[in-house]
Structure 1
Amino acid sequence: MNRYRMIVALATIYMVFAILLNSVGTVILQSIHTFGVDKPQASLLELFKDLPIAITSFLVASFLPRLGYRRAMMLSLVVVGGACVLMPLYPSFHTTELLFTCVGVSFALAKVAVYSSIGLLTSDKAEHGRLTNTIEGLFMLGVLASGWLFSAFINHADPANPSWFNVYWVLAAMCFGTVLLLAGAQLDESAARSDMVVSLGGALRQMYRLLMRTLVYVFLLSAFLYVLIEQSFSTWLPTFNNEILKLPNAMSIQMASILAGATALGRIVAGQLLRRMPWHVLLNLCVVGMGVLILLVLPLAHEARVTPDVGWFNAPLAAYLIPLIGLLMAPIYPVINSVALSSLPKPSHAAMTGLIVIFSALGGTLGSRITALVFSSFGGIHAFYFSLVPMGLVLVTLFFFKRETDRMVPAESDAMPLSAE
């Protein structure tokens, strides 16, 4: 019963953070309407989310086992729950910045604690894999639910109405409810404390040594460029739907959730395709397909016209086609992560994971910022066309990444299958 309670708590934590992390695009759109901020300023919310994730992920490894995983999860939920309460009480753009700062710090704490706790709750690799996939699957469910949950609180007649802040009462209740669930559960963390993580100085030295390897910095550049592309679409698609396709605010947010569903489906399909073709062939086809999709769909978006009574059955075709880029983006990030980690010895995995989180956060922030500037200066069509530049660069980095992996003997080629799930 106690183990079941802990597993439910882990799943709930991940769903809460999935909703909050994925809400940044929705909140950018609503902040533009409610607070009157411009797009470059609104894009800073991505920075307030991603930089704390990067910094906290880098710092927590050295002390989190001492704090305790269960305590770390409870602390993260209390911090985020408190920030959610502040949103309807003190609605302002600065409060929104504070919220995403708290989300970033707390998610870094929660992610390390959740992943570490999975190892304590499972007895073998197969069980570990099943629980990890279940929790990651529920994360995608939270991503899908995010747009629908927020849109339910948006005033359709007046998008600038601050009624959408009431969604944070629901999220705060989820946070504090999960704290109570964790408070009544027990987790034996003795195995984690017996193998203490290295000091901050040791972590820095490990990361520096990894950065001296050609494989690592080529991989990190690939990951950086991928996240730059992914965040450009996931963050700005609601605004694109609203300003370019002229869809209502709530519907713009709901239709953007198709991207999350397409990404989830893409990872499932890719897991099967990887059994039949080499990983580098699949990823190159995906990147080329993304470029082709952009070139075919954006002209349709430019010509799109909507009626005042627009709904799901008469929305522009582009509103359905653009999110399908998620099908093609889906396998890239998990596959390159798997290839990179399986090419390194296990003692290097922790430091490598820290580098992945840092460069991913930086790529997400920069991608959102560039898209915001291009969107503001030249319009949403050109902003999405600009994604063709990093797509071309990803093809180049994948070539060098494949060459470097061919030069190395994988550390444990059989222990880590290249699954995109």
Structure 2
Amino acid sequence: MKRIRIIFAIAMCYFLFAILLNSVGTVILQSIQTFGVTKTQAATLEGFKDIPIAIVSFLVASFIPRVGYKFALLCALSLVGLVATFIPNIGHFWAIKLMFAAIGSAFAVVKVAVYALIGQITDDKKAHSSLLNTIEGIFMVGVLSGYWIFAAFFETQGEQTSWLNVYYLLAAMIGVVALTVFTTSIESPKLPKNVSNKDAFFNMLQLTFKPLVLVFILSAFLYVLIEQGVGSWLPTFNNEILHLPVDVSVQLTSLFAASLALGRLCAGQILKKVSWYPFLNCALFGMAILILLTLPLTHSIEPRVIHSVFDAPLAAYLMPMIGFLMAPIYPLINSVMLSSLEKHQHAAMTGLIVVFSALGGATGSMLTGVVFEKFGGQQAFYGALIPIIGILITLFFFNRQTTRYERYTEEV
């Protein structure tokens, strides 16, 4: 019962932050219309979200186990809940910036705590990978829910800033989640004795010099590069290459998030019975085949009248399906990496995961955008084949390193 309560609490935290984090695109659109800011000014919201994630996770990941995961989660939820409560009353663009800075900072803490807690409540690698995939799947369900929650407030006619009332609902949801965490029995982690805060921070940095960790970091970087590249530019691909209206382009992009959610939830069950390495190889080959089959279909599409998603060409439905195949990769390699370390190292390792994931996401979006502008959308998405090959190579060495590490720990 205690384990189920912890899983429920961390799942609720992840679901909530999925809504908050992935609202940035929608809020950018509303900020341009509501506050009269330029697209360049509105685009800074991405920075206010992502930069604090990287900085905070790097600075505090090694310290979170020392203050306790429960306390860390409650502090993160309290920060975002407090800011969300005042946003509708302030009604200025600078307040939106503050909101996303708070969300980014809090999520860095939440992700470290959640990943570390998964390590505490699972006993073997298969259980760890299964639960982590399930939690990440719930995160994607939260992403989908966020579109509908924000859209419900956009439909309200009245004051120009009436859509900000969505933050009252989100603040109430934060309160419920915080109460759930507060009433859940979450034990403090067992830490090595006589290790200072300074030592804990440098121990985190020393992790990056392990061959196992280096190969993992490269794998995670390449994966996020693909996911963010496709996710960020799929609406533009739909609009400019498939000649779909803006609203239909965005609606069909939601299939990518739905595919990621379904893929992770399914993988969470499949991985209870199969080994991770052949499973991921099959997923990567499937991604490459889907790209090679789908993109040729986009070359002969002529502009025509599109009234709804049902009028879209087949390629518009096939391309987002890549999310189903790539879905298990990120949580699974994270799980294998964390399972290979001592449980007291999970928080520090998660901090490194968050930092390099943020770097991979920014790089993927930028590279895809440059290739898209210079050479076209098809070439930009064909470019995803390069990091797919890269992941196949890094996973080979990652699997070899984890096998060696397991043998070494067994001998010791």
Shared fold, TM over 0.5: yes
Equivalence for 1:170: 169
- Partner SS, residue 307 of structure 2: coil
Letter in 1 for 2:171: A
Corresponding residue for residue 106 of structure 2: 106
Partner of 2:401: 404
Matched-pair contact (CA < 8 Å) for 1:232–1:364: yes
Q: Which residue in the other structure is 1:383 paired with?
A: 380
Q: Equivalent residue of 2:223, what SS?
A: helix
Counterparts of 1:9-408 in structure 2 under 5 Å? 10-27=10-27, 37=38, 45-64=45-64, 69-84=69-84, 85-86=86-87, 89-92=90-93, 95-114=95-114, 136-154=136-154, 165=164, 167-179=166-178, 181=179, 185-186=182-183, 191-192=188-189, 198-270=195-267, 279-304=276-301, 308=305, 310-408=307-405
Q: Deviations over 1:307-329 (max 9, x none)?
A: 55521322222221111001211
Give how far 1:60 is off.
Answer: 2.7
Amino acid aligned to 2:170: L
- The equivalent residue for 1:416 is none
Deviation at 1:136, TM superposition (A): 4.7
Alpha-carbon distance between aligned partners in 2 of 1:247 and 1:386, rounded to the nearest angstrom: 22
Give the 3-state SS of the residue equivalent to 1:409 in structure 2.
helix
Letter in 2 for 1:323: P
- Which AA in structure 2 matches 1:90? G
Tell me if structure 1 keeps the 8 A contact 2:243–2:304.
no
Q: For residue 170 of structure 1, what is the amino acid of its counterpart? A: L
Q: Assess, with a 3 A threshold, how the Cα gap between structure 1 residues 271 and 305 changes in structure 2: closer, same or farther.
A: same
CA contact (8 A) 1:25 1:237 kept: no
> So what's the TM-score if we normalise by structure 2?
0.78
State the Cα RMSD in Å.
4.2
What secondary structure does 1:150 align onto?
helix
User: SS at the partner of 2:393?
Assistant: helix
How far off is 1:374 after superposition? 3.8
Structure 1 residues not aligned, in runs of 5+: 414-421
CA deviations on 1:64-103 (whole Å, 9 max, x unpaired) are: 45655444334323432354453784354x5544433221
Which deviates more from structure 2 when the two are superposed, residues 322-331 or residues 27-36?
27-36
| Aligned sequence identity (%) | 52
TM-score with structure 1 setting the length: 0.76
- Relative to structure 1, the CA distance from residue 65 to residue 170 in structure 2 (aligned partners, 3 Å threshold; closer, same or farther) is same
Change (3 A) 1:401 1:43: farther
8 Å contact 1:343–1:408 — kept in the other structure?
yes
Query: How far apart, in 2, do the equivalents of 1:190 and 1:340 lie?
Result: 23
Please state whether the residue corresponding to 1:340 is helix, strand or coil.
helix
The secondary structure found in structure 1 opposite 2:311 is: coil
Distance (Å, rounded) in 1 between the aligned partners of 2:194 and 2:260: 34
Superposed displacement of residue 361, structure 1:
1.9
- In the alignment, the residues of structure 1 paired with residue 218 and residue 3 of structure 2 have an alpha-carbon distance, to the nearest angstrom, of 40
Matched AA of 2:174: C
Distance (Å, rounded) in 2 between the aligned partners of 1:249 and 1:406: 48
> How far 1:4 moved relative to its partner?
9.0
How many angstroms does 1:105 deviate by?
0.5
Q: For residues 386-413 of structure 1, what are the alpha-carbon distances to aligned partners after superposition, in whole Å with 9 as ceiling and x for unaligned?
A: 3233223223322332343344435779
Counterpart residue identity of residue 81, structure 1: G
Residues in 1 aligned to 2:183 and 2:282: alpha-carbon distance in whole angstroms: 47
The whole-number CA distance in structure 1 between the counterparts of 2:122 and 2:286 is: 41
Give the paired residue count.
404
* Residues 332-371 of structure 1, C-alpha deviations (whole Å, 9 max, x = no match): 2223223333444445444333222221122122222333
SS of the equivalent of 2:309 reads: coil
2:5 and 2:272 map into 1 onto residues whose CA distance is: 35
Distance between the aligned counterparts of 1:29 and 1:46, measured in 2? 12
| TM-superposition CA deviations, 1:156-197 (whole Å, max 9, x none) | 9xxxx8775554443234234544x359x4455664488789
With 376-385 and 251-260 compared, the bigger mean Cα shift is at: 376-385
Provide the secondary structure at the position in 2 that maps to 1:371.
helix
C-alpha distance in 1, partners of 2:406/2:9? 39
Residue deviations 1:95-127 (CA, integer Å, cap 9, x gap) = 54443322110112233445566789x79889x
> Helix, strand or coil for the counterpart of 1:313?
helix
